[in-house]
Amino acid sequence: MGAIAGLGKNRIEVFEQWRQGKTAIKSMTRFDAQRYQTGLAAEVDPAWATPGTAWIERLTLTACQEALADAGPEFAAVAKTARVLFVLATTKGDLTGIEQGVQHPEKTPVHALAFMEAVRRSLPFAVSFRVISLACASGAAAIAHACEALQADEADAALVVGVDVLSDFVLTGFSSLKSLDTKVCRPFDAARQGLSLGEAAAAVLIAGPGKATTLATQGHVLGWGLANDAVHLTAPARDGRGLIAAIQKALKKAEVERSRIGYINAHGTGTLYNDAMEGKAIAAVFDRQRVPVSTIKGSCGHTLGAAGVLETVMTMMALTQKQAPPTVGLTNPGIEEKLDFIIDQSRELSDLGAGLSLFAGFGGFNAALVLSLARKGKDAV
C-alpha cells in the first residue's frame, strides 16, 4: 500500500496525523481564494512528491513507489514476467493540462492523460491499463473491478491507483454547487455546511487467489458491493437504499457476518444529505450494533477519485494498528440517526478481524468494501 495526501508523504504519516486528530485543510497557496466559495483545502506539499512533469504524475508515482516497496523484493523479482493490470481511478484526471491549453492556446496543448504514459515508463514491469471513473466512488469501484479481473484470471496482480488533484475546474465546480464549507468541514456534525476539498494519490497492489505469496501481504479484500440509487444527479437517496444495497452485497460476497465488522470507515463528506443518508444506511444494516465509525475527510478533505483507494489504505492501517482514528471536526453530532459510536476521539479496536469502508458519489453511485488482516473465505484476494 502507498499514499500521499495533505496530511503526509506516505501512508504511515497520513494515518498517524489522522490518528492524532490533525487536519491539513487550510488556506490554499496555489489558487486565488477570492475566486471560490472558500479558500480552504488540503494541498499536498510539493516537496513530498517524486520529481516529474505534471503534478498528477508526481503524486501517482509517489504512491506507486511506496506500494511497490511495501510489496517486497519477492514480488519485484516475479513481476517482470507476471501479467500486471494497472487500474486508474479518477474523477477528473489531469485537468490542469486542459486548463493551461485554454488559458494559453498559443502553446502546445497538453494531453489530459499523458501522465499515464509517463507512469507506464516509470514502472519496473509491463502493465495493461484500465480507467474507472464513477465519481467519488471511483477508487472503491476500481478495487472491485481489479478483484473481479484477478478472480477471472485475467491478470496475476493488479496495481490500483486513485488520484485527483486540485484544479480551477474542481474548485469552481463545487463552488457553483454551493457545497463547500467555508470552515474546515464538519462530518456528521449538527453545524455541517458542506465538504472541504483535498488532493491525494494512493495505491494498492493486489495479488489474485493463490498468488498472494508473492507479496509481503498486509491484508485482504474479502468482498465488495456496488449499487446505484439513481435518484438525482448530485444528491443521494435520502433513505440510503443504494448504500444499504452495496453494504449487503459486500458482506454477502465476503461471507462475513455483520457482527464481525470491527470498524467502519464512513464516506462522511460533511454535506447535509450525505451524512444523514449514511447514518441511516449504517443503522439499517447494523441494527445499532456499536461499531466504531469515523471518516478521514475532516483531516485531508474530500479527495474525489483518490478517496476510495486512500480510505481503503487507511482502513487497513486502522485494522493493522488496532486504532480507529477520530472524525476531525465533529463536536456536536447532528444526524437523524443517533449513532453515538461515530467517534470524535481515537479509539482502540477490538480484534474482530474485518473492517468496512463506504463510498458514495454523484450520479447515485455507492460502493462498499470488506477488508481483513487475515484470509477468510474462498473469495478473498
Distance CA 348, CA 319 (A): 10
* 147 catalytically annotated: no
Query: Whole-angstrom distance between the N-terminal and C-terminal Cα of the chain?
Result: 15
Of 244, 257, 256, the residue nearest 358 (C-alpha):
244
* 232 catalytically annotated: no
The catalytically annotated residue of 64, 136, 185, 300 is 136
Grid cell 491507483 — which residue? 161
Side-chain half-sphere CA neighbours of 164 within 13 A: 33
Distance CA 319, CA 355 (A): 7
The catalytically annotated residue of 147, 185, 267, 300 is 267
The catalytically annotated residue of 145, 185, 220, 302 is 302
CB atoms within 10 A of CB 333: 18
CB atoms within 10 A of CB 284: 17
* SS (HEC) of the chain: CEEEECCECCHHHHHHHHHCCCCCCEECCCCCHHHCCCCEEECCCHHHCCCCCCHHHHHHHHHHHHHHHHHCHHHHHHHCCCCEEEEEECCCCCHHHHHHHHHCCCCCCCCCCHHHHHHHHHCCCCEEEEEECECECHHHHHHHHHHHHHHCCCCCEEEEEEEECCCHHHHHHHHHCCCECCCCCCCCECCCCCECEECEEEEEEEECCCCHHHCCCCCEEEEEEEEECCCCCCCCCCCCHHHHHHHHHHHHHHCCCHHHEEEEECCCCCCHHHHHHHHHHHHHHHCCCCCCEECCHHHHCECHHHHHHHHHHHHHHHHHHCEECCCCCCCCECCCCCCCCECCCCEECCCCCEEEEEEEEHHHEEEEEEEECCCCCCCCC
Q: Show which residues are catalytic.
A: 136, 267, 302
